[in-house]
Structure 1
Amino acid sequence: MSTTEPNLSISNPHPEDTDVIQKVALVVACFGVLILLAAWANVALDAAIFMPIAIISMIGGTTVYGARSYLKQPEGIKNNGVWHFSLTSRGAFAWAVGILLTGFYILLYWFPGYVGFVQSGENQGLVALFDPLSMAIKGRPASQWFMYGTLYTIAILALGMKFIFKYRHNRYQLIRTISVMIAQLVFAYTIPEILAALNYNDVTTTAGEYAGYYDADIKNVWPLDYDFFYSYHLDAMQEEAYQPVGMIYLIAGMALFLVGTPVLTYLIGKRWYCSWVCGCGGLAETAGDPFRHLSSKKLGAWKLERWLIHSVMIFVFVMTAVTLYGYFTGTSSVFGLDIYSKFQKPYGFFIGAIFSGIIGVGFYPMLGNRVWCRFGCPMAGYMGIIQRFKSKFRITTNGGQCISCGNCSTYCEQGIDVRAYAQKGQNIVRASCVGCGVCSAVCPRGVLKLENGPEEKRYDLPPIIIGNESVKISD
């Protein structure tokens, strides 16, 4: 095989040892992490100096390591031994990482003091390390959420570069990865923080968090941004001091849910959001890429997926309806039930924190990288219904070329048994598919193709039929 052609064959499951450049890059990246740990342990560090060093080290070291790991190999996706490493095969290392991530999220949500956030006074530990950056952007000390948003963005940028090197042979993967990196850096991180600097709102929620129309990731939309219709949010967007931006943001958010989301999903499927824009999807596709093969392909998992995601959708619809009823009637209860304690707080605790945060990310090493997107995200569920029944998007298959290698099913992060469709030559039209295109990227025979076409032909017979009449081209 020519070295200029993508090598899609199965390679040695035991990758070559790292070279000197990779080792140095790994040390540099680990040095950045060491700075974070030292700050967390309250080691005296000059945050103005060590914070940028940590960021540059983590992004730079990871980028060089990824480049050296993949650019010295032929293009193409190969069996790189994912089932031979403890981290990616649910081994002891995977459980350790999962426990650490889960513990970090628990502290972040309910015990922010343990990561250094001080409500009244000077921050300490890990949060204090990011005070200079927060002061530079919005003139206020960092919160635990600013620290988390910064680390989240660093992870997507650094590991996004690694993803680009790995899938460099596939134009679709390059474009969508760059898209999620830009969406996270610009629309989920930079712009909201700049808006916070320009119009800081001192109104606080019942949880003691600062509110304001800029408070949410501006590329999020209800129902993913479930507190969009909370009273403090609606009030903030209508305050005179925030006009006209506040009202524009309110109208745009509602229009995106009511008009933009259905139209875009009809035209190109839910991939426009889940794989190109969403921050949860961005982290899953970059930091979570090594774990995509861990998603269960069992029918039982598919049934559980449908029950859970639609239950969450019902929950958020009921909670939002009750919230709006209370807002417009001026009451704090409905049918004798307190709106905050019986509807908003349970949703925020069980879905907004435990499901989307702790389980959604902390369980990457055990359940795969799209646990939240597959089983819980109400936005994905909403778009999935449209994609399943009223969309032009599908993945077409050429069953006559399938060799049943199973790469497509193995690397489907949504747990779809893609090979079963490919073997029958059937179009893949599933509500859960996020259109990441990795199934097509890892196929050695070009069997799969992501398409937008006439809606009525999504369920037609495949282009190649194998049966009693041998092989023929369908009409």
Structure 2
Amino acid sequence: MTPTLTSPPLPATSPAEKLMLAGVAGGLLALLLAWADADPGRRNTWFWLAIGLVSAGTLAWSWLKFGRHPAGVQQNNLWLRSSTGRGAVGWITGLVLTGFYVVLYWFSNGDNQGNFGLLSNLIHPLDSFSQWLRAKPADQWFLYGTFYTLAVLVMGGRALWKYRHSRYQVIRTLSVMFFQLGFSFLIPGLLQFFQKPEFYFNYFWPLHYQYLWPNDVHDLLKNGQALGVFMVFWGAVMSFVATPVLTYFYGKRWYCSWVCGCGGLAETAGDPYRQLSDKSRTAWRWEVRIVYTVLGLIIAITALLWVHFATGGALLGEVGNAAAKWYGFAIGSVFSGVIGVGFYPIMGSRVWCRFGCPMAAYLGLLQKHFSRFRISTNGAQCISCGNCSNVCEMGIDVQQYAQRGAPIIRASCVGCGMCSTACPRGVLNLENGPREGRYQASQLIHADSLRILS
């Protein structure tokens, strides 16, 4: 009889961990009850109970899972688990996330009478909080911002326990938590409280493409007065001056891994799925083709809109506006939201950053050709364990570079430092060194690039 190979059994989950996970499950059930309950009082009770159980349960489980064990990156049988190895739980999670984004974007528009369709019962429990922060009732976008920020903070707490041995990871996690809470949630809300234009100071063109579109620039200058002028100035300077300068010194990590809300969600809520990122050459080819096409599209659309504005619509008619609406639907909604987050449990946590983000493409060009940033490797110390490649959420097969001692200078690298953190031998090191010697072993890298793009 031919012997069959079977996977080793998963380690037993302790009773305390099971209790905390039961609390999280109870919170999700309470959220479902809040969504279904028509009684305002019970609905609010269910909603806030859900928030408390999910948050407290996740943080307590994180301490039990990581805080009580020796520090260090452990794979924890990720590929064997249904939730993190593309099993049934992962697929269900992906379907739920995707469904939420579909409902949010297309089936929850308000009717100016407090009706938000399928999300009404989840939005109204936030009315008091929204009145306190923004001086107006909650809407679907306030619900989304609240859930988004809560996910970054709670899962950021998990990341702090998990990577507490790495000073770089701790500070980086605290940074994305700070920018999400302050710059992406509280400050935009307070601006609305004082009847000023809603503005996100940590998002710039071409990621937040509308900030340099003529209609939005006109509205900011008209309605925001001195503050509006500063907002336009801030957006332009950050996009065209500060971004090249900061990327020259620090690579794209200063933004993608320390500031950006998309990257913040990927690094916290998406951390359990980072190993699912496709490392194949085929994926790399598609990444290059798609992300730079998106960057080219947003540059062309921005130029079209300014031509349209300058000529009063006489030269191009409605071509620019039509292109802007199409981009907002296909890229701004479907790609960045439905696919970018909904597909975390199936394709990894940086699908949007790899394949669709125009800001990542812009920063990547600067990083690859003009930056001092690189990840140096010491091939003599590499034991080919594969930890570095496994944790790379950007689809880079780091191990191949490490084995031959070649520096990693990739446009897609976001400098999260997880490869260095996961390496048991200290083979990888993030550097902002002088450009001299940056392309050591560049012949090997250039040859690989030619093969991939051919």
- TM-score normalized with structure 2 length: 0.91
1:238 is aligned to 221
**Cα deviation per residue 1:195-230 (whole Å; 9 max; x = unaligned)?**
011115xxxxxxxxxxxx32x432100000011133
Give 1:327 shift. Answer: 2.2
Structure 1 regions of 5+ residues with no counterpart? Answer: 1-11, 201-212, 463-475
Distance 1:357 1:299 in 2: 25
In structure 2, the CA distance between the partners of 1:336 and 1:198, relative to structure 1 (3 Å rule), is closer
Contact 1:407–1:439, Cα closer than 8 Å, also in 2: yes
**Cα deviation per residue 1:5-29 (whole Å; 9 max; x = unaligned)?**
xxxxxxx872341332x33333333
Question: What is the aligned counterpart of 1:106 among 95, 102, 107?
Answer: 102
1:29 equivalenced with 2:24 (yes/no) = yes
Q: How does 1:59-458 map to 2 (within 5 A)?
A: 59-112=55-108, 117-121=110-114, 124-199=120-195, 213-214=197-198, 216-239=199-222, 242-331=224-313, 334-341=315-322, 343-458=323-438
Distance 1:315 1:322 in 2: 10
Distance 1:451 1:378 in 2: 25
Give 1:74 shift. Answer: 0.9
Contact 1:219–1:278, Cα closer than 8 Å, also in 2: yes
Distance 1:431 1:29 in 2: 38
Q: What count of residue pairs does the alignment treat as equivalent? A: 431
Other structure's SS at 2:83 match: coil
1:4 is aligned to none
Which shifted more, 372-381 or 44-53? Answer: 44-53
Other structure's SS at 1:457 match: coil
Distance 2:44 2:90 in 1: 34
Give 1:233 shift. Answer: 1.8
Give 1:85 shift. Answer: 0.8
In structure 2, the CA distance between the partners of 1:86 and 1:408, relative to structure 1 (3 Å rule), is same
In structure 2, the CA distance between the partners of 1:13 and 1:163, relative to structure 1 (3 Å rule), is farther
Which shifted more, 145-154 or 70-79? Answer: 70-79
Distance 2:276 2:71 in 1: 24
Distance 1:442 1:429 in 2: 19
In structure 2, the CA distance between the partners of 1:395 and 1:192, relative to structure 1 (3 Å rule), is same
Contact 1:39–1:129, Cα closer than 8 Å, also in 2: no
1:8 is aligned to none
Equivalent AA in structure 1 for residue 395 of structure 2 = G
1:6 is aligned to none
Distance 2:47 2:422 in 1: 38
Equivalent AA in structure 2 for residue 155 of structure 1 = A
Contact 1:199–1:242, Cα closer than 8 Å, also in 2: no
Give 1:231 shift. Answer: 4.0
Give 1:52 shift. Answer: 4.3
Contact 2:135–2:192, Cα closer than 8 Å, also in 1: no
Give 1:324 shift. Answer: 1.5
Distance 2:32 2:44 in 1: 16
Give 1:338 shift. Answer: 3.0
Contact 1:13–1:79, Cα closer than 8 Å, also in 2: no
Which shifted more, 60-69 or 305-314? Answer: 60-69
Equivalent AA in structure 2 for residue 40 of structure 1 = W
Distance 1:60 1:118 in 2: 35
Give 1:97 shift. Answer: 1.2
Identity of aligned residues (%): 47
Give 1:310 shift. Answer: 0.3
Distance 1:398 1:94 in 2: 36
Contact 1:37–1:126, Cα closer than 8 Å, also in 2: no
**Cα deviation per residue 1:111-153 (whole Å; 9 max; x = unaligned)?**
115xxx4433356311112112111112211110100000000
Equivalent AA in structure 1 for residue 31 of structure 2 = L
Distance 1:379 1:74 in 2: 38
Equivalent AA in structure 2 for residue 56 of structure 1 = G
Other structure's SS at 2:279 match: coil
Distance 2:416 2:359 in 1: 16
Contact 2:308–2:316, Cα closer than 8 Å, also in 1: no
Other structure's SS at 1:456 match: coil
Give 1:336 shift. Answer: 4.8
Structure 2 regions of 5+ residues with no counterpart? Answer: 1-7, 443-454
Distance 2:311 2:298 in 1: 20
Which shifted more, 343-352 or 48-57? Answer: 48-57
Give 1:455 shift. Answer: 1.1
**Cα deviation per residue 1:140-182 (whole Å; 9 max; x = unaligned)?**
1111010000000000100111011111111100000000000
